[in-house]
Each structure stands twice: as structure tokens, then as C-alpha cells.
Amino acid sequence: MSKGLPPLNDGEIVLHDHVPSMGKFRKAALVAIAITLVPTVMFAVLWPDTLFGVVPLLLTCVVLVQERLTLGRYRAWITNQRVILQGGEEAPLWDVTEVTQRWAGVRLDGVNLRLAYVADTQALRDVIAAAHKAGAA
């Protein structure tokens, strides 16, 4: 049993333990910082004699630090019956129609859940497809 595993139903087994990828988080953070450089430069040009130029970059860094400190809240378990998020939210696995890749994660269509910072999207798709196939049999 995995440490921190949520209570499971009878006959339920964990097929995939989604732990957010630090590599995906770093890539998303770099993109966010790169996007923030545009308003930072604009603020620095508009107010050259003040510190207002660093406000957009400072705000982005604060948000990224907060996101990094709470990265564990994006953990999820995919079982043969349901998808269970770290916060206690869950959805039946058979309602998942498709796994759609998003900017920093994936969306499980049909149940309207998001998994953030997924390291291997294709492996997640394969697990859900195998669970659907096993459930149909």
C-alpha cells in the first residue's frame, strides 16, 4: 500500500498513482516568468525612477512559490473504479470519455477533472483505456 492512500472500495485496486512532475512544473514556471517579462519591461519604461517595474515579476514569483509549496495537492489515484483527487474529490472512471492535454496538465473529459503537471500523458491515457477495457469485459 502506498503511504497516504485513500480508503478503497471492495475489489478496488490502484492502477496509477499520479504524483505531480517537478519537471513539468519548472517548464510551466519558466513560461510564466517569460510571459511576465513583457509587462515588467513596460512598467520599467513607464516608471523608470521607481520600483514599479518589478511589480509584475514579483507577483509572478510569489504565485509560483505558493504553487510550489502546495504542489502536493495535485496528487491523484486512478483505480479500476474511480479517479480520486488528493482533496477528496472523486469521479467514476467509466464516465471519463477522453484525456485532453492542457497547458500544464490534462483534463479528464466527461467528469470535468484536471490533473496538473502530468509527466507522461500517454501512460495516463493507456491506464484509463485499459481500465475501460477491463470494465467492459
When pLDDT is cut at 50, 70 and 90, the band that residue 1 belongs to is very low
Question: In whole angstroms, what is the distance from residue 37 CA to residue 30 CA?
Answer: 11
- Identify the three-state secondary structure at position 137: coil
Distance CA 3, CA 26 (A): 25
pLDDT, tens digit (0-9, with 9 covering 90-100), for 83-117: 999 888 899 988 888 888 888 888 999 998 889 99
Whole-number Å distance between alpha carbons of 56 and 59: 5
Q: Is 1 helix (H, G, I), strand (E, B) or coil?
A: coil
pTM: 0.81
- Rounded Cα gap, residues 133 and 118, in angstroms: 22
